[in-house]
Structure 1
Amino acid sequence: MVLRLRKASLCVLIVRYAKRTDDHQWLLQHKDVTDFESRRHLAMMMFPEVKEDYEELHEMLIDRSQLLAESFEYIVHAESEALHGGLFMEFKNEEATGPGVLREWFFLVTQAIFNPQNALFVACPSDRRRFYPNPASKVDPMHLDYFTFSGRVIALALMHKVQVGIVFDRVFFLQLAGRHISLEDIRDADPCLYSGCKQILQMDPEFIDSDALGLTFVREVEELGSIKVVELCPGGKGIVVNSKNREKYVNLLIQHRFVTSISDPVSRFARGFADILSKSGEHKLFFRSLELEDLDWMLYGSESAICVEDWKAHTEYSSYKETDPQISWFWKAFT
């Protein structure tokens, strides 16, 4: 209560003085006394510090035409300790190196991982930036290894403070944090299921008790082009949905759709993410210490307009002066 009354001062102190060697677990569990900057600061200290010495970095030489496959080999087969110092990245037959090349690699490999054509993740219908694991990913026998790889890549991007242009859907974020998923949480991931469940819960009791819907405690799942009927509970085929058990039915339906069916991919992603943290057992604490909107900012950034005046104030010119006509034309194009 004291900290809530002094929230602004506390947040400034956290960012200014909190160190990696401190124990922040008690504070991470009280998000209501912190703001985004202080939560991000505390969460980032759960990662190792990126080294400046190139000899301590994990080196990668990637062929652009084999970006995903070669990146997978370099990352998933590396010892986690070898990744804790950071990464040094080069593209084959290209001379450029440094932070800019590493940022480009992070962006390109993340776009490849989350490309729906690779069947690892599903984009939300209402927001194509948001993703959660694809239940059908198991058609690839190596899919779980790729989820471990994905977890490592996202954690490394956060550690290097690189925004990768994707964000997690709430159902994925909550599972990584070890939280329960409710009906309201699936609104973006599956609008049709959300709408259908809402209607079932709001229907007149007499209508639903008449068995007009013909529902039982089962779920139809499409696998390799065929429909498979899965019982949501023992004997589910014989349990008719009525006004007394419809809440249980909706809850079991949601849990099977967004928890049971993707539990292995989520677990392997979490394991890969945990490999990069200083203490591997803290991955749930990392996600619990943040709001989903916090992680959005860290992975995607703001969608607000660029501040041109701030950009101009921090621009360095080579072979040009700020007063040259070409520079004036350039800035005029952005205003």
Structure 2
Amino acid sequence: MDDGTRINIILGCMGGSVFVLFCLIIACARHCRDRADDDLYGYNIDMIDGRDLLLRENLVDTVLEDGKTEWQCVVCMHMNHPDQATCALCGASADASLLNGSMLLSGGSLTTTVLRNNNNNNTTFLTNETAFLHSATGDIPLLRSSSSATNAAADSIELTTSVRQRALRYRRLNQMQLTQKQRGAARRRLWQRVSLPNGAFVWVRTTQPTLQKSDSFLSKLRNNTFLTKNPHANALRGTVAEQLRRKNAATMGFFTEMNDDGELAWRKTDSVAIQMDPARDTTATGAGVMVETGDKTVPQGAADVDFEGLMSMSFREKKKWFLKQVSSIHVPYMESVHKLMVRRDHILEDSVLALGGYLTPKQLREHLNITFIGEPALDAGGVLREWFGLVCKELFSAERGLFCTTHAENMSYWINPSLSRKRAAQGNDGDGDYLKYYTFAGRLFGKAMLEGLVFDANMALPLLKHFLSVPITFSDLEFLDEEVYKSAVWMRENDNVDSLCLTFSVQGDGDDIIELKPNGNDIDVTDENKMEYLALMLRYRMLGSVAEPLTAMLAGLYEIIPKSMLCVFDYQELDFFLSGLPMINVKDWQLNTRVLNFARDSDIPAIEREIQVVFWFWEVVESFTDEERARLLQFATGSARVPVEGFKALTSASGYVHQFCIQFVAPGVPPLGMCPRAHTCFNRIDLPVYETKEDLVTYLTLVIQMEITGFGFE
């Protein structure tokens, strides 16, 4: 080899090395600038923080200052923090509730009961009742006991509400102009489950927030002789059945249950419900405890759980119990994860393909790990939250047509009956796989509860009732279509309905006519048969028109979260849990934020500048509109809403609490170098040390107005 050739080889190697080094420098520069959640610097900051790892269910929900007590909403009976001006559950004002409390106190019929009073919690109830039943160990789950002493102790702490107190409350409610949401919330405890000796449940209509164990009729149900001798019977008999029918007859009520064939059945409220977790559910126990036998997991011990006691607890205690049960069935993050690789421009199709088909029970309950194809970010929580938001946006979009918005005072989402009718009419020529989108939707609800994700949308009240198998009544039509409801009310309360020229049928799409009963189009609606017509119309609107997609959706949901876990909530509480806090509380945000300084501890002037920027930041956030705050939260965490516990409950992908964090950084070259950067996996925002408040406003407003998605933003 001559010298010229040797020199060429050496120069070529040197050139190649320089090129590789240049590429590495560019890659590192992009890596450091990216809005990427695999930012090692951010990870190290979190690791050296030194805080104990905390799960969401172990959080202390409410810390009250000395002398302060929670207030109870007069509309829905929910307990609220004293700093809240409106009820978190229904939106009723604190002033109205406190006024009602004064009325009750002045009436002389109320003894205020303080249920808990310690350093962390001080809760005062305006009703002299309690539903807190704890085991001797202090755990939340309640177990039935044959001990008469235990039953006596439970009865002794279950106080009744006086007739005068109820009358004053109802009078106050009648004086208030309730919103539609508040009307629904006020009725959330109208129907309550009563356990039967064969392990099944029956619905009982009641005017009280909690059932009384001393009620003689309830005792007859709980100790029914026929069901004790015939545990496999599916209906009550004799005088107790007639009593139940009369008690529930004040409301036209029906509930849905999934039968052994996996089909939804429409049942009257004087029926006996099936067991909380049917034997065919082999994914978890009613108590949320996994019991393995051989190669499968079987339910065990559901009958030992006191569901009545659980359902009578406060929302705070229900949520704590639910989170513990969910944690018990969630596959640990370090054991395995379920990886999804999706294309951003086909996010719903790819997600349905990955999550809508056959998956083992273990796969369904693994943590999700999302990868956007062609993007560099590693998912430590932020990518998951962005994926969830984008998938929900597609799933509920009008263009997809899977769900539709209700024609009601508060917009919410309901299964699109037009799509269901269209697919049914197409038969085998249609898209037979459209139901997999609803199976996916049900599983998405289950995954959201497992992963601690919050929906930026609300489901229609009847859909929430279907989730829980809560009785659906005539008044629930209001939450789907106000005009249809008003027409139905007029028909129910007036005579001469034959002048309306109605038949036992409803108008479908276009010229389609749907008969509510055989030959219904030829049967006129009269004063004599109008109640039958209204009952059939209610059934069609609530179930018949959406039966197939609803069945697929419920099946997908229960595959992940057993019904016995869900049913601890009422429908209003479930909506609250799924959708989080409706408004962003800046004070709560500020109190649950960590600040990491860029300046050295010895550089006092630099630290003072950073402190000033922190003050500016919160002043700017306070001045933002609700929409702007939501966009900032979306930018920094990947979600526009916070969980029901508030900012203290923000988590990472592992399920551990990970508070919002402001990390100061040195300003870069304008304009991009002056923009805040987000690390959504760590709920962290990198904030340059601005010279003026105007600069902070300019660049913070800039990033929240940009439609930034993905993790390659520079």
The residue number in structure 1 matching 2:337 is 57
Q: How far apart are the structure 2 equivalents of 1:127 and 1:157?
A: 26
Contact 1:29–1:288 (Cα < 8 Å) also in 2: no
TM-score normalised over the length of structure 1: 0.85
Partner residue of 2:413 out of 103, 127, 131 = 131
**Which whole-Å deviations, capped at 9, do the CAs of 1:19-48 have from their partners, x for residues lacking one?**
843956643345652111222233441572
Instruction: Please say which of residues 40-49 and 241-250 is displaced more in the overlay.
Output: 40-49
Query: Is the aligned partner of 1:197 residue 2:488?
Result: yes
Q: 1:118 aligns with which of 368, 379, 400?
A: 400
Structure 1 position 6, deviation (Å): 4.8
Deviations 1:276-335 (A, max 9, x none): 23xxxx33x344331112112221111244142552453232526575232221111133
Matched, 1:67 2:358: no
Q: For residues 1-335 of structure 1, what are the structure 2 equivalents within 5 Å?
A: 6-8=130-132, 10=134, 13-15=138-140, 20-21=288-289, 23=301, 26-30=305-309, 33-44=312-323, 45-46=325-326, 48-53=329-334, 56-80=336-360, 81-92=362-373, 93-126=375-408, 130-138=412-420, 139=422, 141=431, 142-203=433-494, 205=495, 207-208=496-497, 211-222=498-509, 226-277=510-561, 282-283=562-563, 285-308=564-587, 311-319=590-598, 321=607, 324=610, 325-335=612-622
**3-state SS of the aligned residue for 2:525?**
coil
Alpha-carbon offset, residue 155 of structure 1: 0.5
Distance 1:310 1:180, change over 3 A: closer
C-alpha distance 257-220 of structure 1, shift in aligned 2 (>3 A): same
- Residue type of the alignment partner of 1:89: I
1:15 positional shift: 4.4
Cα 1:136–1:310 change in 2 (3 A) is closer
Using the TM superposition, give the Cα deviation of residue 265 of structure 1 relative to its aligned residue in structure 2, in angstroms. 0.6
Q: Quote the Cα distance in structure 2 between the aligned partners of 1:171 and 1:6.
A: 28
- Identity, % of aligned positions: 19
Q: Is the 8 A contact 1:40 1:294 kept in 2?
A: no
Equivalents in 2 of 1:198, 1:134: separation in Å?
24
Task: Name the CA distance, whole Å, in 2 between partners of 1:125 and 1:237.
Answer: 26
Structure 2 vs 1, CA of residues 305 and 266 (structure 1 numbering), >3 Å: closer, same or farther? same
Provide the secondary structure at the position in 1 that maps to 2:414: strand
Instruction: For structure 1, list consecutive stretches of 5 or more residues without a partner in the other structure.
Output: none
Larger RCO (alpha carbons 8 Å, 6+ apart): 1
- AA of the residue aligned to 1:263: A
Question: C-alpha distance in 2, partners of 1:312/1:183?
Answer: 45
CA contact (8 A) 1:10 1:34 kept: no
Q: Which moved more, 1:62-71 or 1:31-40?
A: 31-40
Q: CA RMSD in A?
A: 2.9
Q: Which has the higher helix share?
A: 1
Structure 2 letter corresponding to 1:173: L
Question: Given residue 352 of structure 2, which amino acid in structure 1 is its aligned partner?
Answer: F
- Range 165-174 or range 15-24, more displaced: 15-24
**In structure 2, what is the Cα distance between the partners aligned to 1:167 and 1:50?**
28
Conserved? CA contact 2:142–2:309, under 8 Å? no
Deviations 1:66-123 (A, max 9, x none): 1111111111135132121221112221324211221221122122111122111111
Contact 2:377-2:383 at 8 Å conserved across structures: no
Q: Is the 8 A contact 2:339 2:369 kept in 1?
A: yes
State the AA in 2 paired with 1:177: L
In 2, are the aligned partners of 1:129 and 1:166 still within 8 Å (CA)? no
Length-normalised TM-score, structure 2: 0.42
- Deviation of 1:149 after TM superposition, in Å, equals 0.8
Q: Is the 8 A contact 1:170 1:186 kept in 2?
A: no
One-letter code of the match for 1:87?
L
